A and B are shown apart, each in its own frame.
Chain A
Amino acid sequence: MGKESEHASVRLDRRSVLSAAVFSLMGAICAAIGAPSVVYLLSPYTKGRNREWLDGGDIGDLAQDRPRAVSFFGERMDGWNRQREKMTAWVVKGPGGAVAAFQPSCTHLGCAFHWAAAQHEFICPCHGSRFGADGAVLHGPAPRPLDRYEVRVEGSRLWLRIPGPREADPS
Chain B
Amino acid sequence: MRAVTRWLEERTGAGAAVRNFLREEIPGSAGWPQAFGSVALFLFLTQAFTGVLLTLNYAPAPTEAYNSLQFIMREVAGGRLIRGLHHWGASMMVVVVVLHMIQVFLYGAYKRPREVTWMVGVVLLLITLGFGLTGYLLPWDNRAYWGTVVTAQIAAQTPVLGRYLQRLMGVETGVGAVALIRFHTLHTIILPGLALLMVTTHLLLIRKHGITPSAVERRPARTFHPEQAFKDAVAVFAAFVVLFVLAAAVKAPLERPADPTDSAYVPRPEWYFLFLFQALKAFTGPLEPLGSVLLPAAAVGLLFAVPFVDRSRMQRVAERTAAMAAVALATLAWASLTAAAVLTTPTPGGAPAGRRPNTSWRESAPEQLAGLGYFHRARCSSCHNLAAGPPRPGPNLAGLASARPAEVLIAHFQQPGAAGNGDFLRPTGLAPDQLETLAAFVQGLTSETAAALSEAPPEITAGAQIFVANGCGGCHKVNGSGGTLGPSLNGVGGRRSRDWIAQRLRDPRLQSPGTVMPAFGFSAHDRDLLISYLLSLPKE
A19-B225, A40-B53 are known contacts. Are A25 and B237 too (CB-CB below 8 A)? Answer: yes
Judge whether B77 and A39 touch: CB under 8 Å.
yes
Judge whether B227 and A18 touch: CB under 8 Å.
yes
B68 in the interface, Cβ–Cβ < 8 Å? Answer: yes
A84 in the interface, Cβ–Cβ < 8 Å? Answer: yes
Judge whether A33 and B78 touch: CB under 8 Å.
no
When each residue 213-247 of chain B gets 1 if its CB lies under 8 Å from chain A and 0 otherwise, what string results? 00000000000011101100110110010001000
A21 in the interface, Cβ–Cβ < 8 Å? Answer: yes
Judge whether A40 and B85 touch: CB under 8 Å.
no
**Using Cβ atoms and an 8 Å threshold, which residues of chain B touch A22?**
226, 229-230, 233
Judge whether A28 and B82 touch: CB under 8 Å.
no
**Using Cβ atoms and an 8 Å threshold, which residues of chain A touch B79?**
40
Q: How far is the CA of A48 from the CA of B439 in the complex (A)?
A: 30
A79 in the interface, Cβ–Cβ < 8 Å? Answer: yes
Judge whether A79 and B71 touch: CB under 8 Å.
yes
Judge whether A81 and B233 touch: CB under 8 Å.
no
Closest Cβ of chain B to A74, distance in Å, is: 13
Judge whether B226 and A45 touch: CB under 8 Å.
no
When each residue 52-67 of chain B gets 1 if its CB lies under 8 Å from chain A and 0 otherwise, what string results? 0100110100001001
Judge whether A25 and B77 touch: CB under 8 Å.
no
Q: How far is the CA of A45 from the CA of B75 in the complex (A)?
A: 6
Find the residue from A18, A21, A80, A82 having the highest chain B CB count within 10 A. Answer: A80
**Using Cβ atoms and an 8 Å threshold, which residues of chain B touch A36?**
78, 81-82
**Using Cβ atoms and an 8 Å threshold, which residues of chain B touch A25?**
233-234, 236-237
A41 in the interface, Cβ–Cβ < 8 Å? Answer: yes
Q: How far is the CA of A79 from the CA of B64 in the complex (A)?
A: 10
**Using Cβ atoms and an 8 Å threshold, which residues of chain B touch A28?**
237
When each residue 296-335 of chain B gets 1 if its CB lies under 8 Å from chain A and 0 otherwise, what string results? 0000000000000000000000000000000000000000
Judge whether A32 and B240 touch: CB under 8 Å.
yes
Residues of A1-25 contacting chain B, CB below 8 A: 14-15, 18-19, 21-22, 25
A29 in the interface, Cβ–Cβ < 8 Å? Answer: yes
Q: How large is the interface on B (under 10, 10 to 19, 20 to 34, 35 or more residues)?
A: 20 to 34
Closest Cβ of chain A to B80, distance in Å, is: 10
Partner of B75, one of A14, A29, A32, A46: A46
**Using Cβ atoms and an 8 Å threshold, which residues of chain A touch B240?**
29, 32
Supply 29 A–B pairs (Cβ within 8 Å), ascending by A. A15-B226, A18-B227, A18-B230, A19-B225, A21-B230, A22-B226, A25-B233, A26-B233, A26-B236, A28-B237, A32-B240, A36-B81, A37-B53, A37-B78, A37-B82, A40-B76, A43-B77, A45-B57, A45-B75, A45-B77, A47-B75, A79-B68, A80-B64, A80-B70, A80-B75, A81-B67, A81-B429, A82-B429, A83-B429
Partner of B237, one of A29, A40, A41: A29
Q: How far is the CA of A36 from the CA of B233 in the complex (A)?
A: 22
| Nearest-neighbor residue (CB-CB) of B52 within chain A | A37
Residues of A82-112 contacting chain B, CB below 8 A: 82-84
Closest Cβ of chain A to B257, distance in Å, is: 12
Closest Cβ of chain A to B81, distance in Å, is: 5
A positions within 8 Å CB-CB of B: 14-15, 18-19, 21-22, 25-26, 28-29, 32-33, 36-37, 39-41, 43, 45-47, 79-84
Closest Cβ of chain A to B503, distance in Å, is: 23
Partner of A18, one of B49, B50, B68, B229: B229
**Using Cβ atoms and an 8 Å threshold, which residues of chain B touch A32?**
240, 244
Partner of B46, one of A33, A45, A46: A33
Q: A25-B237, A80-B64 are in contact. List 12 more A-B contacts (CB 8 A).
A: A15-B226, A19-B225, A19-B226, A26-B233, A29-B237, A32-B240, A37-B49, A37-B82, A40-B53, A40-B79, A43-B78, A79-B71
Partner of A21, one of B46, B64, B71, B233: B233
| Nearest-neighbor residue (CB-CB) of B76 within chain A | A45
| Nearest-neighbor residue (CB-CB) of A34 within chain B | B49
**Using Cβ atoms and an 8 Å threshold, which residues of chain B touch A41?**
53, 56
Closest 8 CB pairs of A and B: A43-B77, A18-B226, A80-B71, A40-B78, A80-B67, A36-B78, A22-B233, A25-B237
Find the residue from A25, A26, A32 having the highest chain B CB count within 10 A. Answer: A25
**Using Cβ atoms and an 8 Å threshold, which residues of chain A touch B71?**
45, 79-80
A40-B76, A80-B64 are known contacts. Are A33 and B85 too (CB-CB below 8 A)? Answer: yes
**Using Cβ atoms and an 8 Å threshold, which residues of chain A touch B70?**
80
| Nearest-neighbor residue (CB-CB) of A42 within chain B | B77
Closest Cβ of chain A to B35, distance in Å, is: 12
Judge whether B68 and A40 touch: CB under 8 Å.
no
When each residue 427-469 of chain B gets 1 if its CB lies under 8 Å from chain A and 0 otherwise, what string results? 0010000000000000000000000000000000000000000
**Using Cβ atoms and an 8 Å threshold, which residues of chain A touch B77?**
39-40, 43, 45
| Nearest-neighbor residue (CB-CB) of A40 within chain B | B78
**Using Cβ atoms and an 8 Å threshold, which residues of chain A touch B46?**
33
Q: How far is the CA of A14 from the CA of B76 in the complex (A)?
A: 45
| Nearest-neighbor residue (CB-CB) of A18 within chain B | B226
Q: How far is the CA of A19 from the CA of B50 in the complex (A)?
A: 27
Find the residue from B67, B78, B85 having the highest chain A CB count within 10 A. Answer: B78
A28-B237, A80-B64, A84-B429 are known contacts. Are A33 and B49 too (CB-CB below 8 A)? Answer: yes
Closest Cβ of chain B to A119, distance in Å, is: 41
| Nearest-neighbor residue (CB-CB) of A32 within chain B | B244
Partner of B68, one of A14, A15, A19, A80: A80
Q: How far is the CA of A126 from the CA of B232 in the complex (A)?
A: 59
**Using Cβ atoms and an 8 Å threshold, which residues of chain B touch A18?**
225-227, 229-230
**Using Cβ atoms and an 8 Å threshold, which residues of chain B touch A15?**
226
Q: How far is the CA of A63 from the CA of B428 in the complex (A)?
A: 39
| Nearest-neighbor residue (CB-CB) of B244 within chain A | A32
Q: How far is the CA of A21 from the CA of B82 in the complex (A)?
A: 26
Find the residue from A22, A41, A84 having the highest chain B CB count within 10 A. Answer: A22
